[in-house]
Structure 1
Amino acid sequence: MTTGTGWAASGHADRYRERVFAERERLAGALADLRGHQQRVLSDLLDFNAGTEFGERHGFARIRDVDDFRKAVPVQDYAAHAPLIERMAAGEPNLLSADQPVVYFTSSGSTGAHKKIPVTPRFMRTTFFPFYYAAWAPLVENFPEVTHRPDAVLNLKHDPLAAPPTTAGGRPHVGASQVDFGEKFGEPLSAELGTAAPWATLPVDVAPDDHLEKMYLRLRLAVQSDLRCLVGINPAMIAAVPYQLALWWDRILKEVRDGTLGGVPYGSPDPRRAAELEGLAAHFGTVSPGHVWPRIQALFGWTTGVASLYLPSLRERFGIGVSALPAPVAASEGPVGVPLDRHGSAGSLVATASVYEFADASTDLTPETDTLLPHELEAGSEYHVIFSHVGGLYRYAVGDVVRVVDLAGGVPRVEYAGRANRSDAAGERLRESQVVRALHSALAATGLHLVNVACRVEPAPDTQAPRYVFAVAPRTPWQDAEGARFTSLLDRALQQESADYRRARTGRRLSAPVLRLLDPDAFHRDWHAAVGTGIRPTQVKDRLFRQDDALWQRLTGTPTT
């Protein structure tokens, strides 16, 4: 494993930076001819896959432009692609793509059966790698120290598997962060920051699905390094770190002092570092990441959605002036937007990756939904994302909603706004983004701060109309009067965000929302409980809408009605 000065001496860091900046320049240059590149992407996927079963079924050989494409292929989700994907996964060739998949990415969701996303060499070369390299450019450019040493970055999502699960056809079926792109696709420079750190491949035995123990072991090793950055992508993983340090602190101190890792001798005892850490905890009363790693510069992960509510407070736990840089707007199925600068949430469309279509987020998608092309989008509006790429997904409704932040040179910059599902108990049809904005409004008006939040619909005890219950973990205790004012302002903000919610409230089909205050660590315990069942940490995300009775009871610790 490359460590210390060997990392710099090998020239890997320089070659990595060169590739990252070159891909960013190519993607930025492509934006000057967005429509031309979109046509070239369409022509390429049609030509390459014309002879597949899907291509012949939908007449790819006769399609010339995006209008023909929209007439020939309906808007479709994973379920519509699944029959052909399952046959591909069993080893049958030439169904969705002329290229055979090398691996199958799992979905990123934590509920339901895991999807099988076919990943072909052509997809990786033309769609994935350009955006994947470019995504790191703002971090590498503005915080160059993250590439100086392999142990400068704690990559929380990196989770290699010695024996990954496979499909019926024998291909690995894993998360993107579990694939060695150098081995599978001949891209050794694609190894993410932090994946050559001493904790990247754990030197002690641990069960593959014991994710909490793996997280502990990495933290125990990382407290002896001078971290400059944490990579989480899923911000819930970064938010868990302060809680985990406190939870495992005594065990970490003992192992650093004794020179053990998971109870097994490892390295040399380090009583000086143990005493230093112990003194920090004694001085500050509680340990924070900024105390353990005082030179952290950046956090890298999604910055929108529910995370936008707690990131300002979370950054303080890592240190004054720590930056939060956004990860790409992307899914396991493909990229949508990639930040090319230090904008706090948005990324430019990846013009060379996919053919992009959009639909008004207030509508329900159907196979015949009329779609908009990138140049038809409006700043400030929200849209369903639909994309098509050479890897074998066609007019694919990924299930995400994006918001157009602005138009840079006529090209939309988008941020993730939430999943496409709505909460709809009485015709209110609330989207996640509407509730998040309402929460921002109520928090700003009251000066309050939270650790996390979720909501669900419950029957109101004194009326026939249901009501929204908001479970909030406050950063510091809220006074009764503050909580009451927050809830009233939240109700008002929801009515401003959603005409459907306003009509449901004025028509008395919904009762006024109520607030349920939790303790500050409630969401962290809930997150740990989910990870403790064997779900990979990358898949346990913040969920605003929580209608499931068992999950709600686990979070709040009270029986549901």
Structure 2
Amino acid sequence: MGIKASLSKVFAWFVNRQLNTMRTNALALQQKNFSHLVHQAKNTAFGIDHNFAAINNYEDFKKQVPVRDYEELRPYIERVVNGEENVTWPGKPAYLAKTSGTTSGVKYIPISKESMPEHIKAARNALLSYIHETGKADFVDGKMIFLQGSPVLAEKHGIQTGRLSGIVAHHVPGYLQKNRLPSYQTNCIEDWEEKVDAIVEETKNEDMRLISGIPPWCQMYFDRLSAISGGKKIKDIFPNFKLYVHGGVNYQPYRARMEESIGFGIDSIETYPASEGFIAFQDSQKEKGLLLMVDAGIFYEFIPSDEYFNENPTRINLKDVDLDKNYALILNTSAGLWGYSIGDTVKFVSKDPYKIVVSGRIKHYISAFGEHVIGEEVEQALLSVAAEEGIDIIEFTVAPQVAPEGGQLPYHEWFIEFGTEPKDMVAFALKVDKALQQKNIYYFDLIEGNILQPLIVRSLKKDAFINYMRSQGKLGGQNKVPRLSNDRKIADELSGYIV
């Protein structure tokens, strides 16, 4: 074991003590965050507009600050983007993270000098938690790769602007820089496919031990590595590769194929980073859920997801959450986001400490007939049947077919790219439909009442989703295909890829 690995174990022990303090004082830390955030922003334009000076507690805050999504906060954020100071947080942000919203077009999320270090600290602590629990630290002595966006930053009115992963690349600790790949030059390549090929060439003979990135794009990297090495498994190309770090999408639909490519069931760490803040990370290989970062300059609020679109939904803070209930996640941050609906839904799997799983997107659902099917339900229904049948799923998405031809009953249409196809597609679809009925009582009632017919599966050609994303100019980086939509926009595009 090298000196870096040895030292990392000592550092991991120290950081775990800090995390234990956080774990056992979550509610007090959230209250401290709340008071600090409101005090710091009381003299900003937003703070004055919302009478922060009169806010003494959470009930006051809810009366003064409504829940808003990006579009509703846009008038304030545009002032920030245009260079105005003291709009939602003191001064100007250190960065603007550029993201592609599904409904808002390009979004600019402020990152302040106070919030930026929290991104780095949480990512670091995710790795150190793994080292502390498992005792495995050898990966620190080898090469690490982070599949991410370009670190080249633009400037808007004196503020550095770019993708979050590109911004973070400028803050990687010095002790990791020599171990880190790809090179800066390769990382700056904008075309994703050209970039992956360059990364393959740059890493194929290196001692890769940790790989990080969104699962579908890591899979593309693995496929190209395997292709140039005569079909070798990743474990034979990188014999010391022992840890995979992922976030952005649920890993489960990709796990079987990823591990088939790698050649064994690799340890993995799930993270929940967003441009708005680093929200949670997996702190244990033994326990379910992601540890909520309660002391990272974010005050969290939650709305039961089934009330989200109500006129006056229930709005609570951390102390009032229940286990196994879906909540829309609302953020108030040290970068100046207030009552901000990030668009994700989460579910608590523990309150001692507070741990969550990301269950879906509040606007990614199907409710064309009142069924309100969510991402978690379709993923679990499909994966349970696929595992039982030994079927390999590469990627999928679901949309409603409201007006089928020939007077048929409407249905949910599933577009699936298979690694291995079911022998009997109709029987497979019926099994998935039954599984979904068991998870969603409203869907069950619609099937039983002959309002909907059972779902229909469309098998897509090889690389259909990659080709679709390429056609949309969204190949690579942090881009991903929504699991389900309440309209036909994606479905109509994918219809051209049906087998």
Give the TM-score of the pair, scaled to structure 1.
0.80
Match of 2:334 in 1: 390
Q: CA deviation at 1:94?
A: 0.8
| Mean CA deviation greater in 463-472 or 433-442 | 463-472
Asked whether the equivalents of residues 149 and 477 of structure 2 are also in contact (C-alpha less than 8 Å), the reply is no
After superposition, the C-alpha distances for 1:379-434 in whole angstroms (9 at most, x for unaligned) are: 22211111212221112111001122233x2x331011111112222222211111
Q: CA deviation at 1:223?
A: 0.5
* 3-state SS in 1 of match to 2:413: strand
Give aligned pairs, total: 494
Q: CA deviation at 1:342?
A: 2.1
Aligned counterpart for 2:207 among listed residues 216, 223, 226: 226
Match of 2:274 in 1: 331
Aligned counterpart for 2:82 among listed residues 80, 90, 102: 90
Pairing of 1:102-181 with structure 2 (within 5 A)? 102-107=94-99, 109=101, 112-125=104-117, 127-141=118-132, 142=134, 143-149=136-142, 152-157=143-148, 159-161=150-152, 164-167=153-156, 169-179=157-167
| Mean CA deviation greater in 85-94 or 318-327 | 318-327
Pairing of 1:283-362 with structure 2 (within 5 A)? 286-302=231-247, 305=250, 307-327=251-271, 329-343=272-286, 346-353=289-296, 354-362=298-306
Asked whether the equivalents of residues 433 and 454 of structure 2 are also in contact (C-alpha less than 8 Å), the reply is yes
Q: Flag the 1:335–1:369 CA change in 2: closer, same or farther, 3 A.
A: farther
Asked whether the equivalents of residues 330 and 336 of structure 1 are also in contact (C-alpha less than 8 Å), the reply is yes
Q: CA deviation at 1:18?
A: 6.2
Look up the equivalent residue of 2:358 and give its one-letter code: Y
Q: CA deviation at 1:491?
A: 1.3
Unaligned 5+ segments in structure 2 are: none
User: Distance between the aligned counterparts of 1:456 and 1:173, measured in 2?
Assistant: 34
Unaligned 5+ segments in structure 1 are: 250-276
* 3-state SS in 1 of match to 2:344: strand
Q: CA deviation at 1:196?
A: 4.9
Asked whether the equivalents of residues 411 and 456 of structure 2 are also in contact (C-alpha less than 8 Å), the reply is yes
* 3-state SS in 1 of match to 2:345: strand
Match of 2:350 in 1: 406
Q: Flag the 1:67–1:445 CA change in 2: closer, same or farther, 3 A.
A: same
Match of 1:511 in 2: 453
Asked whether the equivalents of residues 339 and 347 of structure 1 are also in contact (C-alpha less than 8 Å), the reply is yes
Q: CA deviation at 1:550?
A: 6.8
Aligned counterpart for 2:484 among listed residues 512, 537, 545: 545
User: Distance between the aligned counterparts of 1:334 and 1:195, measured in 2?
Assistant: 27
User: Distance between the aligned counterparts of 1:527 and 1:194, measured in 2?
Assistant: 32
After superposition, the C-alpha distances for 1:168-213 in whole angstroms (9 at most, x for unaligned) are: x13122112112576xxxx66278x67854532126xx98432221
* 3-state SS in 2 of match to 1:538: coil
User: Distance between the aligned counterparts of 1:180 and 1:416, measured in 2?
Assistant: 22
User: Distance between the aligned counterparts of 1:195 and 1:83, measured in 2?
Assistant: 43
Look up the equivalent residue of 1:177 and give its one-letter code: S
Q: Flag the 1:19–1:51 CA change in 2: closer, same or farther, 3 A.
A: farther
User: Distance between the aligned counterparts of 2:233 and 2:469, measured in 1?
Assistant: 19
| Mean CA deviation greater in 17-26 or 338-347 | 17-26
Asked whether the equivalents of residues 39 and 65 of structure 1 are also in contact (C-alpha less than 8 Å), the reply is no
Aligned counterpart for 2:428 among listed residues 472, 476, 486: 486
Asked whether the equivalents of residues 476 and 520 of structure 1 are also in contact (C-alpha less than 8 Å), the reply is no
Look up the equivalent residue of 1:346 and give its one-letter code: G
Q: CA deviation at 1:42?
A: 0.8
Q: CA deviation at 1:553?
A: 5.6
* 3-state SS in 2 of match to 1:228: strand
Q: Flag the 1:322–1:358 CA change in 2: closer, same or farther, 3 A.
A: same
After superposition, the C-alpha distances for 1:501-541 in whole angstroms (9 at most, x for unaligned) are: 223223333222112223454334444555xx3x4622321
User: Distance between the aligned counterparts of 1:242 and 1:528, measured in 2?
Assistant: 19
User: Distance between the aligned counterparts of 1:427 and 1:66, measured in 2?
Assistant: 33
User: Distance between the aligned counterparts of 1:295 and 1:526, measured in 2?
Assistant: 34
* 3-state SS in 2 of match to 1:469: strand
Asked whether the equivalents of residues 292 and 355 of structure 2 are also in contact (C-alpha less than 8 Å), the reply is yes
Q: Flag the 1:180–1:297 CA change in 2: closer, same or farther, 3 A.
A: closer
Match of 1:200 in 2: 183
Asked whether the equivalents of residues 23 and 133 of structure 1 are also in contact (C-alpha less than 8 Å), the reply is no
Q: CA deviation at 1:555?
A: 4.1
* 3-state SS in 2 of match to 1:75: coil
User: Distance between the aligned counterparts of 2:223 and 2:349, measured in 1?
Assistant: 33
User: Distance between the aligned counterparts of 2:311 and 2:129, measured in 1?
Assistant: 38
* 3-state SS in 2 of match to 1:96: coil
Q: CA deviation at 1:90?
A: 1.0
| Mean CA deviation greater in 104-113 or 420-429 | 104-113
Match of 2:196 in 1: 215
Matched, 1:101 2:89: no
Q: Flag the 1:552–1:294 CA change in 2: closer, same or farther, 3 A.
A: farther
Q: Flag the 1:56–1:363 CA change in 2: closer, same or farther, 3 A.
A: same
After superposition, the C-alpha distances for 1:61-88 in whole angstroms (9 at most, x for unaligned) are: 2212212211221111112221111111
CA RMSD, 1 decimal:
3.0
Matched, 1:429 2:368: no
User: Distance between the aligned counterparts of 1:378 and 1:514, measured in 2?
Assistant: 35
Asked whether the equivalents of residues 467 and 514 of structure 1 are also in contact (C-alpha less than 8 Å), the reply is yes
User: Distance between the aligned counterparts of 1:426 and 1:366, measured in 2?
Assistant: 17
Aligned counterpart for 1:244 among listed residues 204, 224, 249: 224
Asked whether the equivalents of residues 240 and 524 of structure 1 are also in contact (C-alpha less than 8 Å), the reply is no
Q: Flag the 1:195–1:79 CA change in 2: closer, same or farther, 3 A.
A: farther
Look up the equivalent residue of 1:122 and give its one-letter code: E
Give the TM-score of the pair, scaled to structure 2.
0.89
Q: What fraction of aligned residue pairs are identical, expressed as a percent? A: 22
Asked whether the equivalents of residues 103 and 171 of structure 1 are also in contact (C-alpha less than 8 Å), the reply is yes
Look up the equivalent residue of 1:93 and give its one-letter code: E
